[in-house]
Each structure stands twice: as structure tokens, then as C-alpha cells.
Chain A
Amino acid sequence: MTDAAYNFAYLDEQTKRMIRRAILKGVAIPGYQVPFASREMPMPYGWGTGGVQVTAACLTPADTLKVIDQGADDTTNAVSIRRFFQRTAGVAATERTAEASVIQTRHRIPETPLTEGQILVYQVPIPEPLRFLEPRETETRRMHALEDYGLMHVKLYEDIARNGAISTAYAYPVKVEGRYVMDPSPVPKFDNPKLESPAIQLFGAGREQRIYAIPPYTRVVSLDFEDHPFEASKADHACDLCGAEESYLDEVITDDAGGRIFVCSDTDFCAGRRAGGHRGALAAEDVA
């Protein structure tokens, strides 16, 4: 039930208009970071305030919302954001990727392929892919304006020179529609191929006050070299609960004696497979 003490979806209308205008400019210029006047939210920076503001600007009462944190629907961050919108917007909530019309995510893209009509909202900590190479905003802005991305290639090259391979494993930089280099938020590079999607993808960075977007069917290329092509890697293992070999895995420590299991990071995907009768190596027989 909506808490009548709040406006629909918490934010006031003027704030939503400002965010909506930023989202539209972001969609019109794929990969470009649009500055916006991020508001104080009733949760601290770092807990998804950017994503929450984008979600609030997008929600309608007819929406079904799913919120994930590292692939899981049942972690503190996901549960509190989901309850926040159930209370302030009165929207339906789900854990099923296929049933959701708006999905807010922290650091994962669901395994189940997204479809037209769905919106994926990313929580972004540092939107600027060049920030760790060049701390000055004035300089990184100029580098984007001039399409001067040599520094990023030097960084990836130094990875290869030191480690023999590109060691960047998450927040792996991409080039959007051949123009802007973009940080896909700290998703594992395993998820990078899923950035080309029929769904609308919106990125919100609250503390850094930036919104950006990837429209559907937009070309998204992970940066690489001809002799060191991009590789979407994952743990070389199958899920111990559902047996999936194609999903991204979390390594979970199970005891003090070095015991560990690998399980799907996407809890909905894993539960769906187990409900469908799939069993991994360590799945108890009675797990339904």
C-alpha cells in the first residue's frame, strides 16, 4: 500500500522532471554522462541513490519491480530498495526476471535474457571510466569531447605487459556506438556481452551526479587488442546447486577447513533451474 504521506515514487514532481530530462538526453547521446542535480535520498551514498532516483523517475503504478544486489534478490540493499518503492510507489514486486518491467541492479546483469518493454537501472559508484587514470573532471570531460581514449588503451596494454593478459575483471570499459567510452558499472566482464540488449539500460550515479544510457540494440564493444581479444570469463566450474555451466558463479566459503562451493550469483536463475529439476553436484535431494 502506498504511504500517502509521500508523493508517488517519493520524489517531488520538479525533481522527477529534471531527472527525466537528463534520462532523455542520455538516451539521445548513448554513453555520454549527463550531469543532473542528484538529491539527498533516505539512504546513504553508495547504497544506490543514483539508481533509486532513476527508478523513481521511471516507475508507473502498473510496473512490476525487481531489485538485485550482485545478482541476489534477498540481500539487504535489494530488499530495502524494493520495500522503499513498494511503500512509496505502491508497485508490485517480483523476484522473477521475466515478470519484471523495471529491474534495478547493483553490479550484475540477470542471466535470463531481457526483452523489449523492460528497463534495467544500474547503480553506479564511479561513472567516469577515465577517473582512475586522470583525476581532474575538466580533463576527462575534454578527453571525451576529443574522443581521446589513448590513455585507456595504455592502461589495458600495461595490464598485458605486467600480467600477460588484460586483468581488468569488472567495470570493464566499453565503447558505445563507436563514440563514447563508458563504464558499465562494476558488473563482471562476464556480463559485458549482455550490454547489447533489446531492453533500455539506464545508469544512475547519485554521489557523482551523472546519468547515462544505452538504448536498445546499441552497439557496445568491450575495448581490447587484436592479439588480446576480449574474453568474458567466469569461474571454471558448474553451479553446485543447479548444475548450470553457463552462469556467473560466486565462490562461497562453507566452513573453517577451506571448504567452498560455487553457486550461481543470479539467485532467480538458479532457483528457476532447480524448480525445473536441474541438480548440481552438492544439491541436497530435498531442495525444491
Chain B
Amino acid sequence: MRTEALTGGFADAPVEAAQVFRATLEALARPGRIATVGGAEAPAPVSGAAAVLLLTLCDHETPLFLAPGHDGPEVRDWVSFHTGAPLVGREEATFALGHWPALAPLGAYRIGTPDYPDRSVSLIVEMEALAARGARLTGPGIETEAFLSLPETEAFRRNNARFPLGWDCFFTCGQSLAALPRSTRVEEA
């Protein structure tokens, strides 16, 4: 194991993880809001926001899929040392990390069952840019409407159409974090 895998974790895990979780909860409960998170650093190309999400939410109970581009020995070592998450394929993953094109095919991920819709994947989508413009969002957590620069709209529209089944998305770019639950209705702006 390379020694750089041992660095980049939280300095004060209980407090920093709590702060990141609150930002994550606010982001998911208010789709379109962009939060700033930080406190940890993973090997490239993992963004700072994605790194703290992994540290806050992943452990040995959450199989993780690393999409092409993110899957490499440095990232694998870092994830294994800091979270202990088993690295698996798309079909078994409860979390998946990568750029939007690399995460495809989306049909391979778990979307839950009618009895247990929570048994579904959460996608951590690394973005080149993240801004409150673009696709129009409505639904739970949004008072009137919100906007977010999604990588596309059709996949999210289809994902919402099968509610309560579906996957949920976190978007990360540098230290910025946004989220889109399956309950959000997405339209072209």
C-alpha cells in the first residue's frame, strides 16, 4: 500500500462528519441548493466534496462502485483504508462514484423493490461545474421552483416517473455539493 493512501482523512471525524452530514441533509432536502463542504482530500480525480461524502456515508456495510476514470489503485487504496467499503460492480452497489458518462449504463443499478424502495443506489456524480441554473426542479423540498445544472434531464425525468423506486443523486464539484432525490420532478428549463 502506498503511504499517501493513509492521509487525507478527517482530522476530527465525529465533528467533521456531523457537519458534512448536515450539509448533505440540507442539500437533499432542498434540491437545487448548493452547499460548500470540506475537511478531507482523496487522490485525484476525486473531488473534495466527493471525498467527504465517502467518509461521512460509506463503511463496510456499503458496497461502492468506482466508475472508469475514478477506478485506480490510488483511489482504491484510499477508499479501502478510510472507509472499508467493499468495491463492487454497478449491480451490487449502494454508492457509486464517477463522472456522469462513466456511471452509465444506469439500468444496471439497484432501484429498490416495491416493498423496500430504500434498497437503492446513491450516485455521487462528479461535475465539471455546478450552478443553480439549467433544468427546472419542482417537488418536495422546493417551495416554488429551483434550477440546477444537471448533466441531462431525460434520465432524471424517467427516474422520477417510477417513484417510489429509483436512485438518488449527489453532485460534487470541488468543494461544492448539491443533490437530487428521486422525488424531484425535472424539466428542461
Interface residues of chain A, those whose CB is within 8 Å of chain B, are: 7-9, 13-14, 16-18, 20-30, 32, 34-35, 57-61, 116, 119, 141-142, 144-146, 177, 179-180, 198, 200, 213-219
Q: CA of A214 to CA of B29 in the docked complex: distance in angstroms?
A: 9
Query: Which residues of chain B have C-beta atoms less than 8 A from A146's C-beta?
Result: 114
Query: Which residues of chain A have C-beta atoms less than 8 A from B59's C-beta?
Result: 14, 17
- Measured CB to CB, the nearest residue on chain A to B12 is A8
Contact of A217 among B56, B143, B168, B182 (CB under 8 A): B143
Query: Which residues of chain A have C-beta atoms less than 8 A from B113's C-beta?
Result: 145
**Are B19 and A29 in contact (CB-based, < 8 A)?**
no
**B176 interface residue per 8 A CB criterion:** no
- Measured CB to CB, the nearest residue on chain B to A202 is B25
Q: CA of A116 to CA of B164 in the docked complex: distance in angstroms?
A: 25
Contact of B140 among A17, A18, A30, A35 (CB under 8 A): A30
**Are A60 and B15 in contact (CB-based, < 8 A)?**
yes
Answer whether A57 and B21 are a contact pair too, CB < 8 Å, given A17-B59, A29-B164: yes
**Are B28 and A24 in contact (CB-based, < 8 A)?**
yes
Answer whether A8 and B15 are a contact pair too, CB < 8 Å, given A30-B140, A198-B143, A217-B142: yes
Tally chain B residues at the interface, Cβ within 8 Å: 39
- Stretch of B42-50, B101-109, B115-123, B147-155 on the interface side: B115-123
Query: Which residues of chain B have C-beta atoms less than 8 A from A8's C-beta?
Result: 14-15, 18
Q: CA of A177 to CA of B56 in the docked complex: distance in angstroms?
A: 29
**Are B143 and A28 in contact (CB-based, < 8 A)?**
no
Q: How far is the CB of B50 from chain A (nearest CB, A)?
A: 15
Query: Which residues of chain A have C-beta atoms less than 8 A from B143's C-beta?
Result: 198, 216-217
Query: Which residues of chain A have C-beta atoms less than 8 A from B57's C-beta?
Result: 17, 20-21, 24
A-B contact count (CB 8 A): 115
Answer whether A32 and B164 are a contact pair too, CB < 8 Å, given A8-B14, A20-B21, A215-B141: yes
**Can you name 4 extra interface pairs (CB under 8 A) apart from A57-B21, A218-B141?**
A20-B56, A30-B140, A200-B25, A200-B29
Q: CA of A32 to CA of B115 in the docked complex: distance in angstroms?
A: 10
Q: How far is the CB of B118 from chain A (nearest CB, A)?
A: 4
- In terms of DSSP, what is the predominant structure of the interface of chain A? mixed
Contact of B115 among A57, A145, A179 (CB under 8 A): A145
Interface residues of chain B, those whose CB is within 8 Å of chain A, are: 13-15, 17-19, 21-22, 24-26, 28-30, 56-59, 61-62, 113-118, 120, 122, 139-143, 163-164, 168, 181-183
Contact of B118 among A25, A57, A142, A217 (CB under 8 A): A25
**Are A27 and B62 in contact (CB-based, < 8 A)?**
no
Contact of B62 among A21, A22, A177 (CB under 8 A): A21
Query: Which residues of chain B have C-beta atoms less than 8 A from A25's C-beta?
Result: 118, 120, 168
Answer whether A30 and B183 are a contact pair too, CB < 8 Å, given A146-B114, A216-B143: yes
Query: Which residues of chain A have C-beta atoms less than 8 A from B14's C-beta?
Result: 7-9, 13, 16
Q: How far is the CB of A271 from chain B (nearest CB, A)?
A: 29
**Are B141 and A179 in contact (CB-based, < 8 A)?**
no
**Are B115 and A142 in contact (CB-based, < 8 A)?**
yes
**Are B29 and A216 in contact (CB-based, < 8 A)?**
yes
- 18 example contacts (A-B, Cβ-Cβ < 8 A) are as follows A17-B59, A18-B61, A20-B25, A20-B57, A24-B24, A24-B57, A24-B168, A25-B120, A26-B118, A27-B25, A28-B168, A58-B21, A145-B113, A179-B163, A179-B164, A200-B26, A214-B140, A216-B29
**Are B29 and A215 in contact (CB-based, < 8 A)?**
yes
Contact of B17 among A16, A144, A216 (CB under 8 A): A16
Query: Which residues of chain B have C-beta atoms less than 8 A from A34's C-beta?
Result: 118
Q: How far is the CB of B12 from chain A (nearest CB, A)?
A: 9
**Are A60 and B114 in contact (CB-based, < 8 A)?**
no
Query: Which residues of chain B have C-beta atoms less than 8 A from A217's C-beta?
Result: 140-143
In the A-B complex, the 8 residue pairs with the smallest Cβ-Cβ separation, listed nearest first, are A28-B181, A8-B14, A145-B114, A215-B141, A25-B118, A218-B140, A215-B140, A28-B168
